[in-house]
């Protein structure tokens, strides 16, 4: 089968933004090479479609039977991850991963939080600050400190720094203003759950199953551990990744239950990664879900999978297989 590959490269947009982490979620040429190789290993040919206008031009010109989509979309729109799937649906081209609605919903943290809470999945207390004028109307005394301050519509830890943990009102207001200034979008103020950082990989559809779980363990235990962008960029020196996860069995069962429920409630397809904090009360608190998780060598999903016996190419192949099964016209193509 002739499969297109949709992606956005960091080098293609370098220097186009004043915000240092603006293109953090974009991929490297190495990731594109690895995914291309994995698709070819399954017996298919690969057409590199790229992203943005290049993707539009190439998709109209090239005849592909399916698209393997890792494109994050262009601009700072909260529905940007839905751009490529929307075009593909308009052209009636099958593709890997979740549909436009799911991708748009999951990038909007407040909407995602409301939906998972309605499904009975625990989530930290939170509030949304829409503009700086609202800061003066927040009743901080009713909100538990410390808190984490984060942009409402970002992924890949964009905007989340070591300073994002606020232990008092002054720190919180300073961080809220920083995000307004740099990201020009509403800001989430979320209760900080002191405990274990755990991420869960999900793959497949009928039914979905776990790739596994991974606990992020700081090498030097700070007062409060934040899995910030600084930590992710220097993970070799700052954290250890534990997989299989050594937590009590009832906690592991709840992590599995909540991950699969979130995957299905939010309409995810083929693969995703779900992030939790396990509190000292033993409750896994849902932080967010990524229905378009990174597939590069240093991404959490791939690190987890390899620790659990997968190969890098094997996991990519499993994502492709899950997508092909959803399209009868592709099964024997």
Q: Kindly report, residue by residue over 116-146, the tens digit of the pLDDT.
A: 999 999 999 999 999 888 888 888 877 789 9
pLDDT, mean of residues 38-57: 97
80, with CB counted inside 10 A (0-12, 13-18, 19+), is buried
Residue 14 has pLDDT above 60, yes or no: no
Count each helix (H run) and each strand (E run) in the chain, helices first.
13, 12
Q: What is the mean pLDDT of residues 153-182?
A: 83
pLDDT at residue 298, rounded to an integer? 92
Tell me the whole-structure pTM to 2 decimals. Answer: 0.93
The residue-averaged pLDDT of 260-282 equals 97
Q: What percent of the chain has pLDDT over 70?
A: 94
| Per-residue confidence (pLDDT) for residue 10, from 0 to 100 | 82
Local structure of 278: helix, strand or coil: strand
What count of residues does the chain have?
333
Contact between 298 and 235 under an 8 Å Cβ cutoff? The reply is yes
Domains, the chain, ordered by start: 2-96 (3.40.50.20), 105-122+194-325 (3.30.470.20), 126-191 (3.30.1490.20)
**pLDDT tens-digit map of 198-257:** 999 999 998 999 999 999 999 888 778 888 777 777 778 889 999 999 999 999 999 999
Burial 274-288 (b: 16+ CB within 10 A, else e): bbbbbbeeeebbbbb
How confident is the model at residue 19, as a pLDDT? 62
């Amino acid at each position: 089968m002739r499969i297109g590959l949709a992606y956005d490269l960091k080098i293609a947009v370098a220097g186009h933004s004043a915000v240092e982490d603006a293109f953090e979620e974009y991929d490297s040429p190495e990731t594109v090479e690895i995914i291309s190789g994995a698709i070819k290993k399954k017996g298919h040919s690969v057409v590199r479609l790229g992203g943005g206008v290049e993707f539009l031009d190439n998709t109209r010109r090239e005849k592909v039977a399916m698209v393997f989509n890792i494109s994050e979309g262009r601009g700072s729109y909260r529905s940007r991850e839905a751009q490529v799937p929307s075009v593909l649906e308009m052209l009636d081209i099958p593709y890997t991963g979740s549909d436009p609605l799911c991708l748009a919903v999951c990038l909007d943290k407040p909407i995602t939080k409301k939906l998972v809470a309605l499904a009975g999945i625990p989530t930290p207390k939170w509030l949304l600050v829409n503009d700086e004028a609202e800061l003066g109307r927040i009743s901080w005394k009713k909100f538990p400190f410390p808190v984490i301050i984060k942009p409402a519509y970002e992924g890949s830890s964009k905007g989340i720094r070591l300073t994002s943990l606020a232990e008092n009102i002054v720190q919180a207001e300073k961080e809220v203003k920083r995000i307004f200034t740099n990201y020009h979008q509403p800001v989430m103020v979320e209760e900080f759950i002191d405990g274990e950082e755990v991420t869960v990989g999900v793959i497949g559809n009928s039914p979905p199953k776990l790739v596994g779980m991974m606990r992020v363990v700081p090498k030097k235990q700070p007062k409060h551990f934040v899995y910030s962008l600084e930590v992710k960029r220097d993970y070799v020196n700052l954290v250890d990744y534990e997989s299989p996860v050594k937590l009590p069995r009832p906690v592991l069962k709840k992590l599995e239950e909540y991950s699969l429920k979130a995957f299905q409630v939010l309409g995810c397809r083929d693969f995703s990664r779900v992030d939790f904090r396990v509190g000292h009360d033993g409750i896994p608190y849902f932080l967010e879900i990524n229905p378009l998780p990174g597939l590069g060598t240093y991404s959490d999903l791939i690190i987890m999978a390899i620790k659990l016996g997968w190969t890098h190419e094997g996991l990519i192949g499993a994502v492709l297989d899950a997508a092909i099964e959803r399209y009868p016209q592709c099964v024997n193509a």
